[in-house]
Protein backbone atom coordinates (compact mmCIF):
# COMPACT_ATOMS: atom_id res chain seq x y z
CA UNK A 1 0.00 0.00 0.00
CA UNK A 2 1.30 3.45 -0.89
CA UNK A 3 0.80 6.22 1.65
CA UNK A 4 1.37 9.81 0.63
CA UNK A 5 2.15 12.54 3.13
CA UNK A 6 0.60 15.85 2.02
CA UNK A 7 3.19 18.44 1.10
CA UNK A 8 2.80 22.16 0.62
CA UNK A 9 4.93 23.38 -2.30
CA UNK A 10 7.69 25.77 -1.28
CA UNK A 11 7.69 27.54 -4.62
CA UNK A 12 5.02 27.86 -7.33
CA UNK A 13 7.21 26.47 -10.11
CA UNK A 14 8.63 22.94 -10.20
CA UNK A 15 12.08 23.64 -11.61
CA UNK A 16 13.58 20.16 -11.20
CA UNK A 17 12.59 16.78 -12.64
CA UNK A 18 13.90 13.69 -10.79
CA UNK A 19 13.68 10.36 -12.62
CA UNK A 20 14.47 7.10 -10.81
CA UNK A 21 12.64 4.32 -9.01
CA UNK A 22 12.13 3.96 -5.29
CA UNK A 23 13.46 0.66 -3.94
CA UNK A 24 13.27 -1.65 -0.96
CA UNK A 25 16.77 -2.09 0.47
CA UNK A 26 17.67 -5.09 2.62
CA UNK A 27 21.04 -5.14 4.39
CA UNK A 28 22.54 -8.45 5.46
CA UNK A 29 25.55 -9.33 7.57
CA UNK A 30 26.65 -12.70 8.89
CA UNK A 31 23.79 -14.32 6.99
CA UNK A 32 21.13 -12.35 8.86
CA UNK A 33 18.98 -9.38 7.91
CA UNK A 34 20.12 -6.39 9.97
CA UNK A 35 18.13 -3.67 8.21
CA UNK A 36 15.27 -2.93 5.85
CA UNK A 37 14.76 0.58 4.54
CA UNK A 38 13.46 2.79 1.75
CA UNK A 39 16.09 2.93 -0.99
CA UNK A 40 16.81 4.44 -4.35
CA UNK A 41 18.77 7.58 -5.19
CA UNK A 42 15.50 9.44 -5.72
CA UNK A 43 14.63 9.14 -2.00
CA UNK A 44 17.88 10.78 -0.83
CA UNK A 45 17.87 13.47 -3.52
CA UNK A 46 14.26 14.47 -2.88
CA UNK A 47 15.04 14.64 0.85
CA UNK A 48 17.83 17.16 0.23
CA UNK A 49 15.87 19.27 -2.27
CA UNK A 50 12.95 19.43 0.15
CA UNK A 51 15.33 20.64 2.85
CA UNK A 52 16.61 23.36 0.51
CA UNK A 53 13.05 24.46 -0.39
CA UNK A 54 13.49 23.42 -4.02
CA UNK A 55 10.27 22.35 -5.71
CA UNK A 56 10.47 19.31 -7.96
CA UNK A 57 8.51 16.66 -9.82
CA UNK A 58 9.51 13.04 -9.22
CA UNK A 59 8.83 10.23 -11.69
CA UNK A 60 9.28 6.83 -10.05
CA UNK A 61 7.75 3.38 -10.44
CA UNK A 62 6.95 0.83 -7.73
CA UNK A 63 4.91 -2.33 -7.41
CA UNK A 64 1.74 -2.89 -5.41
CA UNK A 65 3.94 -4.18 -2.58
CA UNK A 66 5.60 -0.78 -1.99
CA UNK A 67 5.52 -0.31 1.77
CA UNK A 68 6.96 3.09 2.63
CA UNK A 69 5.20 6.46 2.98
CA UNK A 70 6.60 9.07 0.59
CA UNK A 71 6.02 12.73 -0.13
CA UNK A 72 5.48 12.27 -3.88
CA UNK A 73 3.24 9.67 -5.47
CA UNK A 74 5.10 7.04 -7.51
CA UNK A 75 3.54 5.29 -10.47
CA UNK A 76 2.17 2.00 -9.11
CA UNK A 77 2.50 -0.86 -11.61
CA UNK A 78 -0.23 -3.45 -10.81
CA UNK A 79 1.62 -6.31 -12.48
CA UNK A 80 5.05 -5.65 -11.01
CA UNK A 81 6.89 -5.78 -7.72
CA UNK A 82 8.98 -2.96 -6.29
CA UNK A 83 12.70 -3.14 -7.07
CA UNK A 84 14.53 -4.83 -4.19
CA UNK A 85 18.27 -4.76 -3.48
CA UNK A 86 20.10 -7.03 -1.04
CA UNK A 87 23.42 -5.67 0.21
CA UNK A 88 25.77 -8.27 1.67
CA UNK A 89 28.30 -6.47 3.86
CA UNK A 90 30.50 -9.47 4.68
CA UNK A 91 31.18 -11.01 1.28
CA UNK A 92 34.09 -8.77 0.31
CA UNK A 93 35.07 -7.55 -3.08
CA UNK A 94 32.78 -8.44 -5.97
CA UNK A 95 34.73 -8.03 -9.20
CA UNK A 96 34.00 -4.52 -10.49
CA UNK A 97 31.18 -3.55 -8.14
CA UNK A 98 31.37 -2.16 -4.58
CA UNK A 99 34.51 -3.14 -2.73
CA UNK A 100 32.88 -3.17 0.71
CA UNK A 101 29.77 -5.15 -0.15
CA UNK A 102 28.10 -7.36 -2.71
CA UNK A 103 24.93 -5.77 -4.09
CA UNK A 104 22.21 -7.93 -5.66
CA UNK A 105 18.97 -6.90 -7.36
CA UNK A 106 16.47 -9.58 -6.35
CA UNK A 107 13.30 -7.93 -7.70
CA UNK A 108 12.95 -5.39 -10.50
CA UNK A 109 10.12 -3.01 -11.29
CA UNK A 110 9.24 -1.86 -14.79
CA UNK A 111 11.55 0.64 -16.50
CA UNK A 112 10.59 4.29 -16.81
CA UNK A 113 9.46 5.02 -20.35
CA UNK A 114 9.47 8.38 -22.16
CA UNK A 115 5.68 8.41 -21.97
CA UNK A 116 5.90 8.28 -18.15
CA UNK A 117 7.57 11.70 -18.02
CA UNK A 118 5.47 14.85 -17.60
CA UNK A 119 4.61 16.77 -20.75
CA UNK A 120 6.17 20.07 -19.72
CA UNK A 121 9.49 21.89 -19.51
CA UNK A 122 11.94 21.92 -16.59
CA UNK A 123 15.08 23.90 -15.86
CA UNK A 124 16.93 20.90 -14.46
CA UNK A 125 16.56 17.14 -15.02
CA UNK A 126 18.16 14.42 -12.89
CA UNK A 127 18.48 10.85 -14.22
CA UNK A 128 19.23 8.82 -11.09
CA UNK A 129 18.23 5.21 -11.71
CA UNK A 130 19.75 2.43 -9.64
CA UNK A 131 18.24 -0.74 -11.06
CA UNK A 132 18.44 -0.26 -14.81
CA UNK A 133 15.15 1.65 -15.02
CA UNK A 134 16.52 4.53 -17.11
CA UNK A 135 16.32 3.68 -20.83
CA UNK A 136 18.34 5.50 -23.53
CA UNK A 137 15.11 6.79 -25.06
CA UNK A 138 13.97 8.05 -21.65
CA UNK A 139 17.20 9.96 -21.13
CA UNK A 140 16.85 11.38 -24.63
CA UNK A 141 13.35 12.60 -23.76
CA UNK A 142 14.71 14.23 -20.59
CA UNK A 143 17.22 16.13 -22.72
CA UNK A 144 14.35 17.42 -24.83
CA UNK A 145 12.22 18.70 -21.94
CA UNK A 146 14.97 19.87 -19.53
CA UNK A 147 17.33 22.78 -20.11
CA UNK A 148 20.15 21.04 -18.22
CA UNK A 149 20.37 17.30 -17.50
CA UNK A 150 22.42 15.82 -14.64
CA UNK A 151 23.11 12.08 -14.68
CA UNK A 152 24.46 9.73 -12.04
CA UNK A 153 26.65 7.30 -13.96
CA UNK A 154 25.25 4.33 -12.02
CA UNK A 155 22.04 4.83 -14.01
CA UNK A 156 24.05 4.15 -17.18
CA UNK A 157 26.71 1.54 -16.42
CA UNK A 158 25.08 -0.84 -13.95
CA UNK A 159 24.44 -4.33 -15.30
CA UNK A 160 23.21 -7.46 -13.56
CA UNK A 161 24.30 -11.09 -13.94
CA UNK A 162 22.00 -14.12 -13.83
CA UNK A 163 21.95 -13.95 -10.02
CA UNK A 164 21.17 -10.22 -9.98
CA UNK A 165 24.64 -9.24 -8.76
CA UNK A 166 25.52 -5.68 -9.72
CA UNK A 167 28.31 -5.34 -12.27
CA UNK A 168 29.66 -2.27 -13.99
CA UNK A 169 30.24 -1.96 -17.72
CA UNK A 170 32.33 0.60 -19.52
CA UNK A 171 30.47 3.77 -20.39
CA UNK A 172 31.25 3.32 -24.08
CA UNK A 173 29.47 -0.05 -23.99
CA UNK A 174 26.44 1.16 -22.04
CA UNK A 175 24.23 2.29 -24.93
CA UNK A 176 24.21 5.87 -23.58
CA UNK A 177 27.56 7.16 -24.82
CA UNK A 178 26.09 8.94 -27.85
CA UNK A 179 24.02 11.14 -25.53
CA UNK A 180 26.99 12.61 -23.62
CA UNK A 181 27.26 15.77 -25.76
CA UNK A 182 23.66 16.58 -24.83
CA UNK A 183 24.23 16.27 -21.07
CA UNK A 184 25.48 19.04 -18.79
CA UNK A 185 26.84 17.07 -15.84
CA UNK A 186 27.83 13.46 -15.20
CA UNK A 187 28.45 12.45 -11.59
CA UNK A 188 30.55 9.39 -10.72
CA UNK A 189 32.27 7.99 -7.67
CA UNK A 190 36.02 7.44 -7.81
CA UNK A 191 35.40 3.71 -8.35
CA UNK A 192 32.85 4.31 -11.10
CA UNK A 193 35.10 6.82 -12.83
CA UNK A 194 37.42 3.91 -13.70
CA UNK A 195 34.81 2.78 -16.21
CA UNK A 196 35.10 5.85 -18.40
CA UNK A 197 37.84 8.02 -19.85
CA UNK A 198 37.34 11.16 -17.77
CA UNK A 199 39.74 13.17 -19.92
CA UNK A 200 37.66 12.34 -22.99
CA UNK A 201 34.19 12.61 -21.46
CA UNK A 202 34.89 16.03 -19.92
CA UNK A 203 35.19 17.41 -23.46
CA UNK A 204 31.49 16.62 -23.93
CA UNK A 205 30.03 17.40 -20.49
CA UNK A 206 31.21 18.36 -17.03
CA UNK A 207 32.29 15.33 -14.98
CA UNK A 208 32.07 15.50 -11.19
CA UNK A 209 33.96 12.72 -9.41
CA UNK A 210 33.24 12.23 -5.72
CA UNK A 211 35.98 10.98 -3.39
CA UNK A 212 34.07 10.37 -0.15
CA UNK A 213 35.90 11.93 2.80
CA UNK A 214 38.27 13.71 0.39
CA UNK A 215 35.59 15.85 -1.26
CA UNK A 216 35.10 15.94 -5.02
CA UNK A 217 36.74 17.01 -8.26
CA UNK A 218 35.03 18.99 -11.02
CA UNK A 219 36.29 18.29 -14.54
CA UNK A 220 35.22 20.39 -17.53
CA UNK A 221 36.59 20.89 -21.02
CA UNK A 222 39.04 23.63 -20.06
CA UNK A 223 40.22 22.48 -16.66
CA UNK A 224 39.59 20.77 -13.35
CA UNK A 225 39.40 21.74 -9.70
CA UNK A 226 39.18 20.04 -6.34
CA UNK A 227 36.42 21.01 -3.91
CA UNK A 228 37.18 20.70 -0.20
CA UNK A 229 35.31 18.18 1.98
CA UNK A 230 33.59 18.63 5.34
CA UNK A 231 34.40 16.64 8.42
CA UNK A 232 31.90 13.98 9.41
CA UNK A 233 31.35 11.42 12.12
CA UNK A 234 30.54 8.55 9.80
CA UNK A 235 27.96 6.00 10.83
CA UNK A 236 26.51 4.80 7.53
CA UNK A 237 27.74 5.84 4.05
CA UNK A 238 24.59 4.80 2.20
CA UNK A 239 23.15 7.60 0.07
CA UNK A 240 26.01 10.07 0.56
CA UNK A 241 26.66 10.31 -3.17
CA UNK A 242 22.96 10.83 -3.84
CA UNK A 243 22.77 13.55 -1.20
CA UNK A 244 25.82 15.17 -2.78
CA UNK A 245 24.03 15.33 -6.12
CA UNK A 246 20.91 16.74 -4.46
CA UNK A 247 22.91 19.45 -2.72
CA UNK A 248 24.87 20.24 -5.88
CA UNK A 249 21.75 20.72 -8.01
CA UNK A 250 20.00 22.53 -5.16
CA UNK A 251 22.86 25.02 -5.01
CA UNK A 252 22.67 25.64 -8.75
CA UNK A 253 18.90 26.12 -8.56
CA UNK A 254 19.49 28.81 -5.93
CA UNK A 255 21.90 30.60 -8.26
CA UNK A 256 25.34 29.47 -7.04
CA UNK A 257 28.25 29.00 -9.43
CA UNK A 258 29.52 25.44 -9.91
CA UNK A 259 32.35 25.47 -7.29
CA UNK A 260 30.09 26.87 -4.58
CA UNK A 261 27.27 24.46 -5.50
CA UNK A 262 29.74 21.58 -5.24
CA UNK A 263 30.53 22.73 -1.70
CA UNK A 264 26.83 22.46 -0.86
CA UNK A 265 26.91 18.96 -2.35
CA UNK A 266 29.87 17.96 -0.20
CA UNK A 267 28.12 19.45 2.82
CA UNK A 268 24.98 17.33 2.42
CA UNK A 269 27.06 14.25 1.70
CA UNK A 270 28.83 14.78 5.04
CA UNK A 271 25.50 15.18 6.83
CA UNK A 272 24.17 11.95 5.33
CA UNK A 273 27.03 9.68 6.46
CA UNK A 274 26.40 10.78 10.06
CA UNK A 275 22.89 9.27 9.97
CA UNK A 276 21.52 5.76 9.71
CA UNK A 277 19.43 5.54 6.57
CA UNK A 278 17.58 8.50 5.13
CA UNK A 279 18.77 11.47 7.21
CA UNK A 280 16.57 13.72 9.31
CA UNK A 281 17.84 17.27 8.91
CA UNK A 282 17.61 19.78 11.74
CA UNK A 283 15.28 22.53 10.52
CA UNK A 284 17.36 25.24 12.14
CA UNK A 285 20.46 23.96 10.38
CA UNK A 286 18.60 23.96 7.06
CA UNK A 287 17.49 27.55 7.64
CA UNK A 288 21.08 28.63 8.34
CA UNK A 289 22.28 26.88 5.18
CA UNK A 290 19.60 28.52 3.05
CA UNK A 291 20.55 31.91 4.48
CA UNK A 292 24.22 31.27 3.70
CA UNK A 293 23.31 30.21 0.16
CA UNK A 294 21.18 33.30 -0.43
CA UNK A 295 23.97 35.54 0.85
CA UNK A 296 26.40 33.77 -1.44
CA UNK A 297 24.15 33.81 -4.50
CA UNK A 298 25.47 35.65 -7.53
CA UNK A 299 23.08 38.55 -8.09
CA UNK A 300 21.52 39.55 -11.40
CA UNK A 301 21.79 36.30 -13.37
CA UNK A 302 20.94 32.63 -12.97
CA UNK A 303 23.25 29.70 -13.59
CA UNK A 304 21.32 28.54 -16.65
CA UNK A 305 22.08 31.86 -18.35
CA UNK A 306 25.81 31.65 -17.70
CA UNK A 307 26.35 27.87 -17.70
CA UNK A 308 28.73 27.92 -20.69
CA UNK A 309 30.70 30.85 -19.36
CA UNK A 310 34.15 30.13 -17.95
CA UNK A 311 33.33 32.20 -14.87
CA UNK A 312 30.76 29.63 -13.74
CA UNK A 313 33.60 27.09 -13.29
CA UNK A 314 36.00 29.50 -11.61
CA UNK A 315 36.19 29.63 -7.83
CA UNK A 316 34.86 33.08 -7.00
CA UNK A 317 36.24 35.35 -4.34
CA UNK A 318 35.07 34.24 -0.91
CA UNK A 319 34.81 30.54 -1.82
CA UNK A 320 36.92 29.46 1.16
CA UNK A 321 34.92 31.74 3.44
CA UNK A 322 31.71 30.10 2.18
CA UNK A 323 33.19 26.71 3.11
CA UNK A 324 34.04 28.05 6.56
CA UNK A 325 30.54 29.46 7.08
CA UNK A 326 28.93 26.13 6.16
CA UNK A 327 31.28 24.32 8.54
CA UNK A 328 30.42 26.81 11.27
CA UNK A 329 26.69 26.23 10.75
CA UNK A 330 27.24 22.51 11.13
CA UNK A 331 29.19 22.95 14.36
CA UNK A 332 26.57 25.30 15.84
CA UNK A 333 23.83 22.80 14.98
CA UNK A 334 25.77 19.97 16.64
CA UNK A 335 26.24 22.02 19.80
CA UNK A 336 22.52 22.84 19.89
CA UNK A 337 21.65 19.16 19.58
CA UNK A 338 23.97 18.27 22.43
CA UNK A 339 22.44 20.98 24.61
CA UNK A 340 18.89 19.94 23.80
CA UNK A 341 19.67 16.28 24.38
CA UNK A 342 20.22 17.20 28.01
CA UNK A 343 16.81 18.88 28.20
CA UNK A 344 13.25 17.49 27.99
CA UNK A 345 12.76 19.08 24.55
CA UNK A 346 14.00 17.72 21.25
CA UNK A 347 15.45 19.21 18.09
CA UNK A 348 12.83 19.95 15.49
CA UNK A 349 13.47 18.03 12.28
CA UNK A 350 12.35 18.28 8.69
CA UNK A 351 9.15 16.46 7.80
CA UNK A 352 10.05 13.24 5.99
CA UNK A 353 8.69 9.71 5.55
CA UNK A 354 8.61 7.61 8.70
CA UNK A 355 9.58 4.00 8.04
CA UNK A 356 7.22 1.18 8.85
CA UNK A 357 8.99 -1.74 10.42
CA UNK A 358 12.63 -2.10 11.36
CA UNK A 359 14.88 0.93 11.33
CA UNK A 360 18.09 0.59 9.37
CA UNK A 361 21.01 -0.57 11.51
CA UNK A 362 24.52 -1.69 10.61
CA UNK A 363 26.52 -3.91 12.92
CA UNK A 364 29.75 -2.51 11.59
CA UNK A 365 30.34 0.93 10.14
CA UNK A 366 31.78 0.69 6.64
CA UNK A 367 33.32 3.51 4.67
CA UNK A 368 32.11 3.42 1.08
CA UNK A 369 34.56 5.12 -1.28
CA UNK A 370 31.92 5.03 -4.00
CA UNK A 371 29.89 7.83 -2.40
Closest CA to 358 of 143, 37, 103, 88: 37
Question: Per the domain annotation, does 42 fall within a domain?
Answer: yes
Active-site position among 236, 242, 260, 368 = 242
Residue 226 covered by a domain = yes
Residue 358 has pLDDT above 80, yes or no: no
Does any domain span residue 354? Answer: no
Residue 359: inside a domain, yes or no?
no
Highest mean pLDDT of the ranges 182-191, 231-240, 291-300: 182-191
pLDDT computed for residue 306 by the predictor: 56
What pLDDT does 360 receive? 42
In a domain, 362, yes or no: no
**99 pLDDT above the threshold of 60:** no
Examine the residue annotation and report whether 368 is marked as an active-site residue of this protein.
Answer: no
Burial class of 267 by CB neighbour count within 10 A (0 to 12, 13 to 18, 19+): buried
Please give the average per-residue pLDDT across 4-18, as a whole number: 55
In the chain, how many domains are there? 1
> Alpha-carbon torsion 206, 298, 56, 118, what sign?
negative
Q: What is the pLDDT of residues 80-91, one digit of tens each?
A: 999 999 988 765
Q: Is residue 4 part of a domain?
A: no
Does the structure show a pLDDT above 70 at 310?
no
Q: At 323, is the secondary structure helix, strand, or coil?
A: helix
The phi and psi torsions of 204 (rounded to 5 degrees) equal -95, -45
- Across the range 124-150, mean pLDDT stands at 98
The CATH number of whichever domain residue 155 belongs to comes to 3.40.1190.20
Residue 240 lies in a domain: yes
Q: What is the pTM of this model?
A: 0.84
In a domain, 174, yes or no: yes
Q: Which letter, b or e, does each residue of 341-350 get, where b requires 16 or more Cβ atoms within 10 Å of its Cβ? A: eeeeeebeee
Domain region containing 83: 16-304+313-337
Amino acid sequence: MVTTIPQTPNTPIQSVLIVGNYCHDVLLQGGAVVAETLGGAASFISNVLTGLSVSFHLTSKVGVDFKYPVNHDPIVVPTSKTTVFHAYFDQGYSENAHQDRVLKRVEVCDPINPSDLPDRKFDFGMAVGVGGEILPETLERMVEICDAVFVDIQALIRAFDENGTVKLVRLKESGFYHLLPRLKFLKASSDEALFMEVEEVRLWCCVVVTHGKDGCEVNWKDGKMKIAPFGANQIDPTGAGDSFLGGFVGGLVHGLVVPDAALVGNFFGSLTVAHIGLPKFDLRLLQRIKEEVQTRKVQGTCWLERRDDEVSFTKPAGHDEFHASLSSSKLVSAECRRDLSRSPGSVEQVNRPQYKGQQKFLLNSVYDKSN
